[in-house]
């Protein structure tokens, strides 16, 4: 009996230590109605956006199901709107997830506010800088529509949410920058065997666009764990179609008044490094 009690106590202590470490180092992100996620190239912007938006939509859909099937309320079923290919299951499998029927692609009619989104829906826009030209201030109708789209989206959807991702706050349309007073910045992506660990920090979007910190950014970063299979829920190279039809070239390039191929250049540098190491 004493040994069993001691074993239980040790397990409880071990559980509390693990829970404290996770609570201290890993963060459960709480995002606003309009969330902007930025970071460098291949730091996991789309990964984090898809993870947060799918998690948010599943929670909203469960609430809708309980309200309509248990409480017998007459409510609209929320949809998942996006501008890229996404699945709730896995793109590598032939059978579809039951929620895939609720995925709807965003059209210009949505952005121009000619048709509305369903209530409590989730919207994910990848590479929001491509949604509208940041310098196109001459098109007043587009700017007005996009401003109303971002400012009133939570009201018009009665509590819906929008997730944007882009490489920088500055390359977004001004209507997005005005709404997002804070944004999530991803410093780096640590790829483990079964998980991705993203180093994330909440940044403040000021008028001059500068965040001043007295401490080391890496020391105050919070970690977010994302399962590796979320990569299979969306097309990571969605915009490769912009260059798919362009020709490729495997020829020598002009360099220093002569023709030098990349392969030869690499071999020459490698030989120099080997000679330097021997010396």
Question: Does the pLDDT of residue 113 top 90, yes or no?
Answer: no
Specify the pLDDT at position 53: 95
Specify the pLDDT at position 252: 56
Which pLDDT band holds residue 4 (cuts at 50, 70, 90)?
confident
Question: Does the pLDDT of residue 265 top 60, yes or no?
Answer: no
Q: Are 233 and 88 in contact (CB under 8 A)?
A: yes
Residue ranges of domains in the chain, CATH in brackets: 31-237 (3.40.50)
Among 86, 111, 108, which Cα is nearest to 99's? 86
Mean pLDDT of 170-199: 87
Residue 279 burial class via C-beta count within 10 angstroms: exposed 0-12, middle 13-18, buried 19 and up: exposed
Specify the pLDDT at position 64: 96
* pLDDT tens string 33-66: 899 999 988 899 999 999 999 999 999 999 999 9
* pLDDT tens string 188-215: 888 888 889 898 988 887 766 666 666 6
Which pLDDT band holds residue 242 (cuts at 50, 70, 90)?
confident
Which pLDDT band holds residue 257 (cuts at 50, 70, 90)?
low
Question: Does the pLDDT of residue 277 top 70, yes or no?
Answer: no
- From residue 33, how far is each of 52, 57, 125, 177, 197 by CA, in Å? 12, 12, 14, 14, 24
Mean pLDDT of 144-165: 92
Within 10 angstroms of residue 186's Cβ, the number of other Cβ atoms is 21
**Full-model pTM:** 0.80
* pLDDT tens string 209-238: 666 666 666 666 788 889 889 989 998 888
């Amino acid at each position: 009996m004493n040994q069993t009690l001691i074993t239980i106590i040790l397990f409880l202590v071990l559980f509390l230590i693990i829970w404290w470490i996770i609570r201290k180092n890993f963060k459960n992100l709480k995002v606003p109605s309009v969330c902007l996620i930025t970071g460098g190239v291949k730091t996991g912007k789309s990964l984090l956006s898809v993870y947060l938006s799918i998690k948010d939509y599943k929670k909203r859909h469960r609430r809708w199901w309980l309200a309509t099937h248990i409480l017998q309320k007459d409510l609209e079923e929320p949809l998942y709107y996006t501008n890229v290919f996404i699945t709730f299951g896995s793109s590598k499998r032939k059978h579809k997830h039951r929620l895939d029927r609720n995925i709807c692609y965003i059209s210009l009619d949505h952005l121009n506010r000619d048709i509305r989104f369903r209530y409590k829906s989730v919207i994910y826009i990848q590479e929001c800088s491509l949604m509208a030209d940041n310098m196109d201030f001459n098109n007043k109708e587009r700017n007005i529509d996009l401003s109303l789209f971002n400012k009133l989206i939570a009201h018009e959807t009665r509590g819906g949410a929008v997730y944007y991702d882009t490489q920088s706050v500055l390359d977004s349309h001004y209507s997005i920058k005005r709404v997002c007073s804070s944004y999530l910045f991803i410093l780096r992506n640590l790829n483990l065997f079964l998980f991705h660990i993203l180093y994330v920090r909440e940044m403040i979007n000021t008028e001059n666009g500068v965040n001043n910190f007295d401490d080391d950014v890496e020391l105050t970063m919070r970690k977010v764990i994302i399962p590796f299979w979320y990569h299979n829920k969306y097309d990571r190279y969605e915009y490769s179609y912009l260059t798919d039809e362009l020709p490729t070239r495997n020829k020598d390039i002009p360099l220093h008044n002569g023709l030098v191929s990349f392969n030869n250049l690499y071999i020459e540098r490698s030989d120099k490094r080997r000679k330097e190491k021997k010396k």
